[in-house]
Amino acid sequence: SNQTPREPVFHDYRPEPARFREDVLSGLAKNQRRIPPKYFYDRTGSRLFDAICQLPEYYPTRTEIGLLKQYGAEMAEYIGEGSVLVEFGSGSSLKIRLLLNALQPAAYLPIDISREHLFNSARELAEEYPLVAVHAICADYTRPLVLPEGFAGRPKGGFFPGSSIGNFEPGEARQFLERIATLLGAGSGLLIGVDLKKEVALLNAAYNDSQDITAAFNLNLLQRINRELEGNFDLAGFEHRALYNAAEGRVEMHLVSRKEQVVTVSDQVFEFQAGETLHTENSYKYTIEEFQQLASSAGFQPQRVWTDPQDLFSVHYLSL
C-alpha cells in the first residue's frame, strides 16, 4: 500500500512480573498440588498451544473462527462502527482481523502482559489497518486498570475470544466480568467467546488428542520448571490426564505421578505418591443460560448469542 504506515502508540503500565518460582513452590506444597495454567505459555508451550488449535479433535478454535467469519457483520453492528475496540489478551491475530474486516473502529486497544508479543502484533495491525488508531497497552488485564487519557467517555466494544474465561473459577469469572464492565463503562458492550457444555466424549477427545500434543503441552510445564527453577522432574515419571468433571462443569488437566518419587525444585523437596496428581488446569464449560446468568450477575445484559449448528461453541454479545 502507498499509505503512510501508522505507528501504534505504546502504553507500558509495567505489569508486575509473574511470580513463577513462588507460585510453583507454594502450589507444589499444597495438599492437592496445583500450578496456575498461565505458566503453560513459554515459547515451547505457546507453539504447542498453536498446534492444539489445529488438531482435528480440538473444536473450539475453528468453531469460533467459523462464527466470526459467518456472523462478523452482525457482531460488528452490535459493537458499532467508530467505537473503541478493546481486546483482552492479544493472542489471536486471526480473530481480531476477522472482526476488523467487518468493523471499522475509531481505535483498537489490545491489552496484553507479554510486551514483545503485544508490540509486534500491534505494529502489524497498525500497518494493515491504517485507518484504525492502535494503542497497545502492556498490562495484566486480570488486574484493575484504567484506559489511557482520551478513551474515558467514549462507548467501547470489548473483545475476549477463545473461551479464556473458562480458566477462571466461576466466582473469579464474575469478578473479572465486573472489572471489564467498569473499564468499558455505560453504553458499551462485550463480545466474548464461551465454550459450551456438550457430550462428554467430545470434551474428552478435545483434551486427549490422538497425537498427544495436549499431553506434550501439559508435560512441558515440568520441563519449564526444570529449566527455569532448577527442577529435576523426570518427565517419563508423569503422565497427562484430562477428564470432564461433570459435577463442576469443567475439564480438568492433571499430571499423574506414575510411581512413588522425590522431586527437587529450587532446593525444595517434594515427595509424590504413586497415582498422586498435580492439577494444572480447569477449563469451565457453560450452557448459554448459565453464562448469561453469570454475565447478568456481573452487570451485563445479554443481547445476542451466536452458535454453530452442533452447539459446540458460543459467542455472546453483552451490553452495559
Residues that bind ligand AVJ (CB under 6 A): 52, 60, 162-164, 166-167, 207, 214, 281, 283
Burial class (CB in 10 A: 0-12, 13-18, 19+), 165: buried
Identify which of residues 60 and 110 has a Cβ nearer to ligand AVJ in the complex.
60
| CA atoms lying within 13 Å on the CB side of residue 283 | 22
- Give the nearest distance from C-beta 167 to ligand AVJ in angstroms: 5
- Give the nearest distance from C-beta 130 to ligand AVJ in angstroms: 31
- Give the nearest distance from C-beta 218 to ligand AVJ in angstroms: 7
Whether the CB-CB separation of 162 and 92 falls below 8 Å is answered with yes
| Interhelix angle 200-207/59-79, nearest 10 degrees | 100
Identify which of residues 90 and 163 has a Cβ nearer to ligand AVJ in the complex.
163
- Give the nearest distance from C-beta 273 to ligand AVJ in angstroms: 25
| Interhelix angle 93-102/115-128, nearest 10 degrees | 30
- Give the nearest distance from C-beta 39 to ligand AVJ in angstroms: 12
Identify which of residues 45 and 231 has a Cβ nearer to ligand AVJ in the complex.
45
- State the pairing for strand pair 107-112/301-307: unpaired
- Give the nearest distance from C-beta 217 to ligand AVJ in angstroms: 6
CB proximity list for 218: less than 8 A, separation 6 or greater: 40, 240, 242, 253, 255, 280, 281
Q: Which residues of 61-89 are buried (b: 16+ CB within 10 A; e: fewer)?
A: bbbbbbbbeebbeebbebbbeebbbbbbb
Identify which of residues 257 and 283 has a Cβ nearer to ligand AVJ in the complex.
283
Q: Which three cell numbers stand for residue 126?
A: 497498525
Identify which of residues 52 and 320 has a Cβ nearer to ligand AVJ in the complex.
52
- Give the nearest distance from C-beta 9 to ligand AVJ in angstroms: 28
Identify which of residues 127 and 308 has a Cβ nearer to ligand AVJ in the complex.
308
Which position's Cβ is nearest ligand AVJ?
A: 283
Identify which of residues 129 and 286 has a Cβ nearer to ligand AVJ in the complex.
286
Q: Which residues of 132-157 are buried (b: 16+ CB within 10 A; e: fewer)?
A: bbbbbbbbbbbeeeebeeebeeebbb
